[in-house]
Amino acid sequence: MTVAEEADKFGLHRVGARPSLGDYLRQTWERREFIYELAKARVQKQNQQNRLGMIWVVLKPTMNAIMYGVIFGVLQGDKKAADFPVFVVIGVFLFEFFTSSMNGGAKSITGNSALVQSLSFPRLSLPVAQITQNLLTLMPMVAVMFIYSMILGTTPKWSWFGIIPLIALFSVFNMGVALICARITVHVRDFTQILPLVTRMLFYTSGVLFSVDRILSHWPWLVTVFDYHPLYQTLQLARAMIMDNADYNPMGWLVVGVWSLVMLVVGLIFFWKAEERYGRAN
């Protein structure tokens, strides 16, 4: 009998060994209070470091919406979407959640190397804390998004409450993306240098600033591709629920739901497979 078999016989396991996926998820759930407190502390620290505090949370996407709205409104001319100011506000504010999740998730392990190397806990807790932090930041952003929509002439309606399940699905999708980026960054540190280019490319190609039906009307096959684009469908569902007279496609829920589930499962397994590697991150 080998040493490993003898140890297993008496319930002894190698330090830092990767647990089964079920145990891994259970251990992470047991640390849910730690995850929430870590996320909350980071939000508070971020606000304390800025002179304007929480105001920056909504000021940044507000300035982006104004800048991009003016530029792309002029460039698109008659082809810009109906209720274009509200259209842009919704797109920019929700895409900010995706961007912060991707970038923050990528650094969730490498940016906490001291914590990872000194304490024993499921490393999954760190990307989950990052998404939780982004959700806490998103709450005031969504409130301001609704205020802007009303200022710009949108009528409040019951469908606005549909943003709650949509954000829940979007959070699941972003979690999967964050887990994938977190592991890639551990193996390839230069990945964080490429991420700004990736997020910028997605920003310009996900319908954040333009109506796909109007801009790509001469390429119907390309419009069909966007029917399966998770980011675009998320934004379209939000616009359909918030804006007046916006087209509502119930199939968007299926697209977003399937993408979110697939990304979470793939991201979770991909991240879990390298659990032993994270303790050696430096």
- Backbone φ, ψ for residue 281 (5° rounding): -65, 135
pLDDT of residue 98: 95
pLDDT of residue 3: 44
Q: Of the spans 13-22, 115-124, 190-199, 264-273, which averages the highest pLDDT? A: 264-273
pLDDT of residue 281: 47
Residue with more model confidence, 264 or 75: 264
With b meaning 16 or more CB within 10 Å and e meaning fewer, what string describes 131-148?
bbbbbbbbeebbebbbeb
70-to-63, 73, 212, 274 alpha-carbon distances in Å: 11, 5, 18, 45
Taking only the tens place, the pLDDT of each residue in 233-258 is 999 999 999 988 777 788 999 999 99
pTM: 0.88
pLDDT of residue 10: 43
Once rounded to an integer, what is the mean pLDDT over residues 161-166?
Answer: 94
Taking only the tens place, the pLDDT of each residue in 34-82 is 999 999 988 888 766 665 556 767 778 888 888 888 888 888 888 888 8
Q: Find where tokens 């806990």 sit.
A: 121
Taking only the tens place, the pLDDT of each residue in 88-126 is 999 999 999 999 999 999 998 988 887 887 777 889 999
pLDDT of residue 120: 79
Question: What's the rounded Cα separation, in Å, for the pair 270 and 262?
Answer: 12
236: number of Cβ within 10 Å: 25
Q: How many CA atoms lie within 13 A of 169 on its CB side?
A: 23
For the chain, helix (H) and strand (E) counts, in that order, are: 14, 0
pLDDT of residue 52: 58
Question: What's the rounded Cα separation, in Å, for the pair 64 and 135?
Answer: 20
DSSP letter for each residue of 202-264: HHHHTTSSS-HHHHTTT-HHHHHHHTT-HHHHHHHHHHHHHSTT----THHHHHHHHHHHHHH
Treating both helix axes as pointing N-terminal to C-terminal, what angle do 230-242 and 251-272 enclose, rounded to 10 degrees?
Answer: 140
Question: What's the rounded Cα separation, in Å, for the pair 238 and 232?
Answer: 10
pLDDT of residue 150: 92
pLDDT of residue 275: 85
Taking only the tens place, the pLDDT of each residue in 175-202 is 999 999 999 998 888 888 899 999 999 9
CB under 8 Å, gap of 24 or more: what pairs does 162-165 form? Answer: 162/237, 162/241, 163/238, 163/241, 163/242
pLDDT of residue 5: 47
pLDDT of residue 51: 59
Question: What's the rounded Cα separation, in Å, for the pair 249 and 75?
Answer: 27
* Banded model confidence at residue 277, pLDDT cuts 50, 70, 90: confident
* Banded model confidence at residue 219, pLDDT cuts 50, 70, 90: confident
pLDDT at residue 1 tops 80: no
Residue with more model confidence, 129 or 83: 129
Once rounded to an integer, what is the mean pLDDT over residues 121-135?
Answer: 92
